[in-house]
Amino acid sequence: MFANDAKKLCADLQLARVNEAHGKADLSNYRAASVEVMEIMSRFAVVERASIDEAYIDLTDAVQKRIQELAGQPIPEGALKSTYVQGYPHPGPTDGQSKTKGEVRLLGLEQWLNSLHAADPQSRELQLTVGAIIVEEMRAAVEEETTFQCSAGISYNKVLAKLACGLNKPNSQTILSQSGVPGLFSQLPIGKIRHLGGKLGDSIKELLGVEYMGQLTQFTESTLQSHFGDKTGSWLYLLCRGIEDEPVKPRQLPKSIGCSKSFPGKTSLCTQDQVQFWLLQLCLELEERLKKDRETNHRVAKQLTIGLHRQGDSSGLSRVCALTRYEAQKISSDAFILLKSFNKAGAHQAAWYVVTGLTTRKCPISTLLMTSRSPP
């Protein structure tokens, strides 16, 4: 719903406004905040930045070290003050009694902790629990140092951790063990799974006649391979059982820097002048961000990717060229030369085939090595 429409329905509605620059939302403050949070989290474990507000964290080494320090002592509930456990509490004789969400959380956590084998350092459930303690501490550090609150998911892999993160927002965290996967997947739409929100997910639903992730367990690995190829079929066979092994790769910086803007409905671009104007606005923002990145992170971009969406096209179009210097006018000029090949109205026409989205991106970004040489 657009802001103006919301105000018509609720005249007293207070709306937060994002700053604007170059005719679009200015996310500079959000990017700066993201850097702060990533730096704090990196003090606890290996961090892979996934987006401006999302990261994957490999807690393996930190968990093993903490388990050694615990030396078999039981885990206190107080160390997990905002932790939920998916699939807990188990059904019991008190199910008919009315409970608050907080009471249900505590009951589930108590059942989970009572089931742990605290003396077995190889217990996967214990490892998840200790990981949750570390994440509680990490989130507390983020809030104390920045005032920002985070949600988290603790599990065995990226897919499950991302799902768990969204189960009990805001400002909470959820443990998702292997025992909790079947119940969660039984009602989880396939498109909610990481990597399955696009064409692959759609083809799975269409070819197999399924809707939920758990329904894939009825198919053999060979059946899935026959539909989606050996590699993807085997991956799906394991994934629907909660098994996935993509590693967390240490990275706190984005691999590319890009800007984009959508032009829906009446705002769509229909002339060459409009396309050139907005292309320059995107490139002005890119110039600023690239220069700041070069100064802060000592990296340079070598490649320019320009893309657009045209009205009626199901997918976007893109072209790539070398990036020669950080100058908006030059970048914009090079980008427009690439874009002209997409104009069905004709390269020399003032009219333009309707554009509904523009994207500029500089990638890959390579490290700029700073060296010095001693005088002879």
Residues noted as catalytic: 54
What b/e string do you get for 52-63 counting C-beta neighbours within 10 Å, with b at 16 or more?
eeebbbbbeebb
Amino acid (1-letter code) at residue 150: C
Continuous H helices in the chain: 3-9, 28-41, 60-70, 101-114, 124-146, 158-165, 181-185, 199-208, 221-228, 230-239, 272-297, 328-339
Concatenated DSSP letters of 13-40: -------EETTEE--HHHHHHHHHHHHH
Phi-psi region of 87 (alpha: psi -120 to 50; beta: other; left: phi over 0): left
Which three-class secondary structure state does DSSP give residue 1?
Answer: coil
For residues 157 and 352, give the distance between their C-alpha atoms in angstroms, rounded to a whole number: 47
Q: What is the DSSP string of 57-106?
A: EE-HHHHHHHHHHHTTPPPPGGGGTTEEETT-SPP-TTTTS---HHHHHH
Residue of 283, 285, 271, 269 lying closest to 355 (CA atoms): 269
Q: Is 296 helix (H, G, I), strand (E, B) or coil?
A: helix
Q: Is 133 left (phi over 0), alpha (psi -120 to 50) or beta?
A: alpha
227-261 burial, b for 16+ CB within 10 Å, e for fewer?
A: ebeeebbebbbebbbbebeeebeeebebeebbbeb
